[in-house]
A and B are shown apart, each in its own frame.
Chain A
Amino acid sequence: MDHSIIGRNLWKVYRSKVKQGFLRSKKKRVEALKGVDIEVRSGEIYGLLGPNGAGKTTLIKILTTLLYPDRGEAYVNGYNVLKEPERVRATIGVMLMGERALYWKLTGRENLEFFSALYHVPSQIARERIKRISELLGLEEYIDRLVETYSSGQKITLSFAKALVNDAPLLFLDEPTVALDPRRALEIRNVIRMLNKDEGKTILLTTHIMQEADMLCDRVAIIDRGMIVAVGSPDELKSRVRKEGVLEVEVSKIKPSATEKLRGLEGVRSMGVKIRRDDSRETSMLRIICDSPRQIIGGVITVLVEEGAEINYLKPSEPTLEDVFIMYTGRALEEADKNEAG
Chain B
Amino acid sequence: MKPGKTVQVFKAVFKLNWHLTTRYKGWFLFFVLFPIIFSAVPILLGRAVAGDPSKAAQSFQQYTGTSNYVVYMVVGSSLWVFAISSMWGFGMWLREQQMTGTLEQLLLTPVNPFLILLGEEIFNLLISTLQLSMALLFGSWIFGALGDLLSLRLAYSIGLLVLGIIPMYGLSMALGGLIIRIKEAGSIIGILQMLMGFLMGIFYPLTLLPGWVRILSILFPLTIVNNDVRAILLSTGFIFSLPADVLLLVLYMFIYPLIGFRVYEKVMISLKKGEGVGGY
Q: Does B235 contact A (CB under 8 A)?
A: no
Q: How far is the CA of A215 from the CA of B270 in the complex (A)?
A: 39
What are the interface flags for B14-49 relative to A under an 8 Å C-beta threshold, 1 for contact and 0 otherwise?
Answer: 011001100110000000000000000000000000
- CB of B109 within 8 A of CB of A119, answer yes
Q: Does A229 contact B (CB under 8 A)?
A: no
- CB of B109 within 8 A of CB of A115, answer yes
Of the listed stretches A63-71, A232-240, A255-263, chain B binds A63-71
Minimum distance in angstroms from B128 CB to a CB of chain A: 20
Q: List 17 A-B contacts (CB under 8 A).
A: A14-B274, A66-B277, A67-B276, A68-B272, A68-B273, A89-B109, A89-B110, A90-B110, A92-B108, A101-B105, A102-B100, A102-B102, A102-B105, A105-B24, A110-B16, A118-B106, A120-B8
**Which residues on the B side are within 8 Å of A67 (C-beta)?**
272, 276
**Which residues on the B side are within 8 Å of A89 (C-beta)?**
108-110
Q: How far is the CA of A120 from the CA of B9 in the complex (A)?
A: 8
- Closest-by-CB residue of B relative to A13 is B274
Q: Does A290 contact B (CB under 8 A)?
A: no
8 A Cβ contacts from B105-127 to A: 105-112, 116
Q: How far is the CA of A106 from the CA of B107 in the complex (A)?
A: 19
- CB of B23 within 8 A of CB of A105, answer yes
**Which residues on the B side are within 8 Å of A102 (C-beta)?**
100-102, 105
Minimum distance in angstroms from A151 CB to a CB of chain B: 18
Contact of A66 among B12, B16, B104, B112 (CB under 8 A): B104
**Which residues on the B side are within 8 Å of A14 (C-beta)?**
274-275
Minimum distance in angstroms from A67 CB to a CB of chain B: 5
**Which residues on the B side are within 8 Å of A187 (C-beta)?**
none
Q: How far is the CA of A89 from the CA of B104 in the complex (A)?
A: 12
Q: Does A114 contact B (CB under 8 A)?
A: yes
What are the interface flags for A99-118 relative to B under an 8 Å C-beta threshold, 1 for contact and 0 otherwise?
Answer: 01111111000100111011
Q: Does A50 contact B (CB under 8 A)?
A: no
Enumerate chain B interface residues (CB-CB to A < 8 A). 5, 8-9, 11-12, 15-16, 19-20, 23-24, 100-102, 104-112, 116, 269, 272-278
Q: Does A9 contact B (CB under 8 A)?
A: no
- Closest-by-CB residue of B relative to A87 is B110
Known: A103-B20, A118-B116. A66 touches B107 (CB 8 A): yes
Number of interface residues of A (CB under 8 A): 35
- Closest-by-CB residue of A relative to B24 is A105
Q: How far is the CA of A64 from the CA of B110 in the complex (A)?
A: 11
- Closest-by-CB residue of B relative to A104 is B100
Q: How far is the CA of A115 from the CA of B116 in the complex (A)?
A: 12
Known: A14-B274, A64-B108, A94-B108. A110 touches B101 (CB 8 A): no
Q: Does A190 contact B (CB under 8 A)?
A: no
Q: How far is the CA of A68 from the CA of B19 in the complex (A)?
A: 34
- CB of B110 within 8 A of CB of A103, answer no
| 6 more CB-based (< 8 A) A-B contacts, given A15-B274, A100-B102, A120-B8 | A14-B274, A96-B101, A103-B102, A104-B100, A117-B11, A162-B105
- Closest-by-CB residue of B relative to A30 is B275
- Closest-by-CB residue of B relative to A16 is B275
- CB of A106 within 8 A of CB of B272, answer no
Q: How far is the CA of A120 from the CA of B11 in the complex (A)?
A: 11
Minimum distance in angstroms from A327 CB to a CB of chain B: 32
Known: A96-B101, A101-B105, A105-B19. A118 touches B276 (CB 8 A): no
**Which residues on the B side are within 8 Å of A90 (C-beta)?**
110
- Closest-by-CB residue of B relative to A82 is B272
* 5 A-B pairs closest in CB distance: A100-B101, A117-B12, A90-B110, A118-B109, A101-B101
**Which residues on the B side are within 8 Å of A282 (C-beta)?**
none
**Which residues on the A side are within 8 Å of B107 (C-beta)?**
65-66
Most chain-A CB neighbours within 10 Å: which of B20, B23, B110? B110
Contact of A106 among B9, B19, B101, B269 (CB under 8 A): B19
Most chain-A CB neighbours within 10 Å: which of B11, B16, B100, B104? B16
**Which residues on the B side are within 8 Å of A16 (C-beta)?**
275
- Closest-by-CB residue of B relative to A67 is B276
Known: A67-B272, A67-B276, A96-B101. A105 touches B20 (CB 8 A): yes
Q: Does A86 contact B (CB under 8 A)?
A: yes
Minimum distance in angstroms from B76 CB to a CB of chain A: 33
Q: How far is the CA of A118 from the CA of B8 in the complex (A)?
A: 8
Known: A14-B275, A15-B274, A117-B8. A100 touches B108 (CB 8 A): no
**Which residues on the A side are within 8 Å of B274 (C-beta)?**
14-15
Q: Does A293 contact B (CB under 8 A)?
A: no
Q: Does A61 contact B (CB under 8 A)?
A: yes
Contact of A100 among B100, B112, B276 (CB under 8 A): B100
**Which residues on the A side are within 8 Å of B16 (C-beta)?**
103, 106, 110, 114
- CB of B275 within 8 A of CB of A119, answer no
Minimum distance in angstroms from B217 CB to a CB of chain A: 33
